[in-house]
Chains A and B, each alone.
Chain A
């Protein structure tokens, strides 16, 4: 087995920070129908403009469209809305809905911090640390993390801990890092847990304690942090704080290699629409008759039965055909499952654009959980693919609306 080394979990992925965390902060800001929001936005209501942009960005109650969202954030920026600046900055850095332009993105993130929002301080610090759209400036990053941390933004606290642990932009101070990590780690923050585990392995600032390290790695790995899985794997491979267990080590490395922090493997399991009656394998023949007659629900149920007990590539190919037929008739659950097959490349060509596009359509059609599923699978995609998927979904939607 390849020699492996311990790794620190340095940064929160910027895309995750800018594009997902904000939603948590802002959800519920405005309610109302799309039409009401749209009318209010046209009348110059800045909150309505922002909320509408958020709906388009998330694809909530509307077909996801980053380009439309970006236009609305631009309007928000003109109102001086710091939230719009922060989000639009993220879009420019990632190239979603707009041509990628890191410098412009950096400028927008910088403009947003004037509001003094903790999250915006954190995001700016993060790009300063990495030198995205600007020269790296770890000292300034540290100062901004500190401000955000003082305002109670946990991500910033953990990222500041990393700077103290590695002595980047500040004088190395392990004891300080331990203090910064401990609160968030005990509260369940995976990066803090992993890094605290690492400190225990090395015995820096604390007595070396493999058992404690294993525990911290395990807690972080249990939350799906790939770095932590790999670190835990090293512990098992070498028997640090645990019995040597090469099988377990291999399993963890493999799991970590699959990448997505959200456990893309699990996310690829077929999804069912809770609003439908559960499928009954004993009725497969009835479903088949109805499916052949063009009934989309029967087509979906049959596809679902096929993928749920899939034994071979042939089962997936059959299922894909049934899902396709039902999806084209507008059945959300069929769209989602067809998307999942396209993501995993089972029964159809693997094509993330296609997969994302079908999940976007399923989300807009109101399938519960489709948005989270789509975002969990988007981790391996480029902005170009997501933009293309937005366009592809739009084309299907337009055809369907006719």
Chain B
């Protein structure tokens, strides 16, 4: 049984984009006693009760009222009175368009270009935009230009993209002005022209475009395109923050927090960081975590610190993952949880954080590591050994004795470079050569280097050439270069001997 049935329907005229139509017609609910009138819907809209207005429009739209269809599509597209649901928005806007309501074209195109959760429908957007371009709509020029630049929904055409972008920029659209600046600076669809690029960038910035302002901030900071000017950089950063730029909020917030390049004002810094962090900007969340952890600009609060670190760490931010892992491991601000700490150490390790590797290695050696050892385990313990853990070094030595060439190689590197243990060239050479003989390519290259320099072994170009040749055959380009340099210093007899030994080595493998 349908929820709504329509009793009578006569259409009135649309009065302005944001006004609903007043009409005498009513739509009633079968189950309800009082009929809904468009008058009531209008009343609700004016009162700011968008939920009621949106729900009230539905029966009229269903009944084919073109104005109601457009209004409903408009509200759904803007997410007012309920969530944005692309499929619903396009349904009503398309329905209105089919009945000749042209005003919704541009909005509809924009909705089609929206990504999540559906895949954008570039082809349909292009159709709609082409029609609006003919009408001279600046916004249509801008959107179509972007599609022509990327070749989505239409064959890429940089020249036409430039022409349209120029029209939109001339019409005063800040986003178009920024894009035009980019096109001039890259020579995209137009001859490269840095002066024009600067001019349009400034124009977009004057119009308050946040990205343009940030771009100016970066340019003045790095001195690219303009002379380096920290005062101006700061000015543009503040303007971008005023325009609501999230990254700008994070950068300025961090600057106030630490007093770098600006007079320190931690309270203000925290306020800005909160703005960005609440928009889920992971860097700001991390900095906020730091502010809470250290009591900078806020009262020290380890629980809150852990919360903010977690938000950023869950987005994969290495620094935050490491900080949170340390808190979890030590039970600071959160309950101690080794398993969770390990998970976050691993996130940090994936971001190539050495400290995380060292911690994981230490936990593996101490037996605290709660999982099965993986291949990365050897790497972690090596990192811990290089950081000076003698337990880790002993662990590696035991592994090496069991015939693990990677362990031999890393022990060799530790003693060769004096990292985490006192340098011992002879011992280094012994381990590196064991790993090389076992077929480990990095060790073979290192063995070549040992023989070439004579560190810990007698200098021997034949052996150096042999190992470089073997490593090069394994695909190392640097080893190939080393081999060719060595060959220049050797007699043909030495090279012949070295090649013979390399061949014999590979055959013995």
Contact segment of B100-108, B243-251, B334-342, B498-506: B498-506
Structural contact, A351 and B492, CB atoms closer than 8 A? no
Contact segment of B50-58, B177-185, B473-481: B473-481
Given A313-B477, A350-B502: A345 touches B496 (CB 8 Å cut-off):
no
Contact among A317, A347, A349, A385 for B470, CB-based, below 8 A: A349
Q: Mark B475-499, 1 if CB is under 8 A from A, else 0.
A: 1110010011001100011011001
Structural contact, A352 and B502, CB atoms closer than 8 A? no
Residues of B within 8 A of A381 (CB): 492, 496
- Chain A CB within 8 A of B472 CB: yes
Size of the chain A interface, CB-CB below 8 angstroms: 22
Which residues, 446 to 484 on B, are CB-close (under 8 Å) to A?
Answer: 469-470, 472-473, 475-477, 480, 483-484
Structural contact, B475 and A313, CB atoms closer than 8 A? yes
Given A380-B492, A382-B493, A382-B496: A349 touches B487 (CB 8 Å cut-off):
no
- Residue in A314, A349, A382 with the greatest tally of chain B CB atoms within 10 Å: A349
Contact among B488, B496, B506 for A257, CB-based, below 8 A: B488
- Chain B CB within 8 A of A279 CB: no
Given A257-B488, A345-B472: A352 touches B495 (CB 8 Å cut-off):
yes
Structural contact, A314 and B475, CB atoms closer than 8 A? yes
Structural contact, A382 and B492, CB atoms closer than 8 A? yes
Structural contact, B487 and A380, CB atoms closer than 8 A? yes
Structural contact, A353 and B499, CB atoms closer than 8 A? yes
Q: How far is the CA of A312 from the CA of B469 in the complex (A)?
A: 16
- Chain B CB within 8 A of A348 CB: yes
Q: How far is the CA of A380 from the CA of B495 in the complex (A)?
A: 9
Which residues, 240 to 261 on A, are CB-close (under 8 Å) to B?
Answer: 257-259
- Chain B CB within 8 A of A366 CB: no
Structural contact, B473 and A345, CB atoms closer than 8 A? yes
- Closest B residue by C-beta to A258: B488
Contact among B484, B495, B503 for A349, CB-based, below 8 A: B503
Residues of B within 8 A of A346 (CB): 472, 480
Q: How far is the CA of A354 from the CA of B500 in the complex (A)?
A: 11
Residues of B within 8 A of A354 (CB): 503
Nearest CB in chain B: distance from A174 CB, A:
33
Residues of B within 8 A of A385 (CB): 492, 496, 499
Structural contact, A345 and B483, CB atoms closer than 8 A? yes
Size of the chain B interface, CB-CB below 8 angstroms: 21
Structural contact, A349 and B493, CB atoms closer than 8 A? no
Determine chain A's interface SS by DSSP, over half rule.
loop
Nearest CB in chain B: distance from A401 CB, A:
25
Structural contact, A351 and B499, CB atoms closer than 8 A? yes
- Chain B CB within 8 A of A384 CB: yes
Structural contact, A352 and B469, CB atoms closer than 8 A? no
- Closest B residue by C-beta to A378: B492
Nearest CB in chain B: distance from A260 CB, A:
11
Nearest CB in chain B: distance from A317 CB, A:
6
- Closest B residue by C-beta to A254: B488
- Closest A residue by C-beta to B495: A380
Nearest CB in chain A: distance from B418 CB, A:
30
- Closest A residue by C-beta to B490: A380
Given A259-B488, A313-B477: A352 touches B472 (CB 8 Å cut-off):
no
Structural contact, B502 and A349, CB atoms closer than 8 A? yes
Q: How far is the CA of A382 from the CA of B475 in the complex (A)?
A: 26
Q: How far is the CA of A348 from the CA of B495 in the complex (A)?
A: 16
Structural contact, A351 and B487, CB atoms closer than 8 A? no
Given A313-B476, A314-B475, A380-B487: A350 touches B492 (CB 8 Å cut-off):
no
Nearest CB in chain A: distance from B498 CB, A:
9
Q: How far is the CA of A346 from the CA of B476 in the complex (A)?
A: 10
Contact among B475, B477, B483, B493 for A350, CB-based, below 8 A: B483
Contact among B475, B495, B499 for A317, CB-based, below 8 A: B475
Residues of A within 8 A of B475 (CB): 313-314, 317
Structural contact, A349 and B473, CB atoms closer than 8 A? yes
Nearest CB in chain A: distance from B507 CB, A:
10
- Closest B residue by C-beta to A350: B469
Q: How far is the CA of A385 from the CA of B488 in the complex (A)?
A: 18
Q: Mark A119-133, 1 if CB is under 8 A from B, else 0.
A: 000000000000000
Q: How far is the CA of A190 from the CA of B499 in the complex (A)?
A: 33
- Closest B residue by C-beta to A355: B499
Contact among A351, A380, A382, A384 for B503, CB-based, below 8 A: A351
Nearest CB in chain B: distance from A119 CB, A:
25
Residues of B within 8 A of A384 (CB): 496
- Residue in B475, B477, B506 with the greatest tally of chain A CB atoms within 10 Å: B475
Contact among A258, A350, A380 for B472, CB-based, below 8 A: A350
Q: How far is the CA of A345 from the CA of B469 in the complex (A)?
A: 7
Residues of B within 8 A of A352 (CB): 495-496, 499
Which residues, 197 to 232 on B, are CB-close (under 8 Å) to A?
Answer: none
Q: How far is the CA of A380 from the CA of B473 in the complex (A)?
A: 20
Q: How far is the CA of A349 from the CA of B470 in the complex (A)?
A: 6
Nearest CB in chain A: distance from B439 CB, A:
13
Q: Mark A358-400, 1 if CB is under 8 A from B, else 0.
A: 0000000000000000000000111011000000000000000
Nearest CB in chain A: distance from B467 CB, A:
12
Nearest CB in chain B: distance from A253 CB, A:
11
Structural contact, B506 and A349, CB atoms closer than 8 A? yes
- Closest A residue by C-beta to B470: A349
Residues of B within 8 A of A314 (CB): 475
- Closest A residue by C-beta to B505: A349
Which residues, 54 to 85 on A, are CB-close (under 8 Å) to B?
Answer: none
- Residue in A258, A259, A350, A381 with the greatest tally of chain B CB atoms within 10 Å: A350
Q: How far is the CA of A348 from the CA of B471 in the complex (A)?
A: 10
- Closest A residue by C-beta to B474: A313
Nearest CB in chain B: distance from A297 CB, A:
27
- Residue in A317, A351, A384 with the greatest tally of chain B CB atoms within 10 Å: A351
Q: How far is the CA of A270 from the CA of B15 in the complex (A)?
A: 77
Structural contact, A351 and B480, CB atoms closer than 8 A? no
Residues of A within 8 A of B503 (CB): 349, 351, 353-354
Which residues, 17 to 36 on B, are CB-close (under 8 Å) to A?
Answer: none
Structural contact, B473 and A350, CB atoms closer than 8 A? yes
Q: How far is the CA of A257 from the CA of B489 in the complex (A)?
A: 9
Q: Mark A149-185, 1 if CB is under 8 A from B, else 0.
A: 0000000000000000000000000000000000000
Residues of A within 8 A of B499 (CB): 349-353, 385
Structural contact, B495 and A351, CB atoms closer than 8 A? no
Which residues, 286 to 329 on A, are CB-close (under 8 Å) to B?
Answer: 312-314, 317
Residues of A within 8 A of B492 (CB): 380-382, 385
Q: How far is the CA of A354 from the CA of B472 in the complex (A)?
A: 16
Q: Mark A23-41, 1 if CB is under 8 A from B, else 0.
A: 0000000000000000000
Q: With contacts A352-B495, A353-B499, A382-B492 known, what are 12 further pairs, Cβ within 8 A?
A: A257-B488, A313-B476, A345-B469, A345-B472, A345-B484, A346-B472, A349-B470, A350-B502, A351-B502, A380-B487, A381-B496, A384-B496
A-B contact pairs, 14 of them (CB 8 A): A313-B472, A313-B480, A317-B475, A349-B470, A349-B473, A350-B469, A350-B483, A351-B502, A353-B499, A353-B503, A354-B503, A380-B495, A381-B496, A384-B496
The 7 closest A-B pairs by CB, nearest first: A349-B473, A313-B475, A382-B496, A385-B496, A382-B492, A350-B469, A257-B488
Q: Which residues of A contact B (CB under 8 A)?
A: 257-259, 312-314, 317, 345-354, 380-382, 384-385
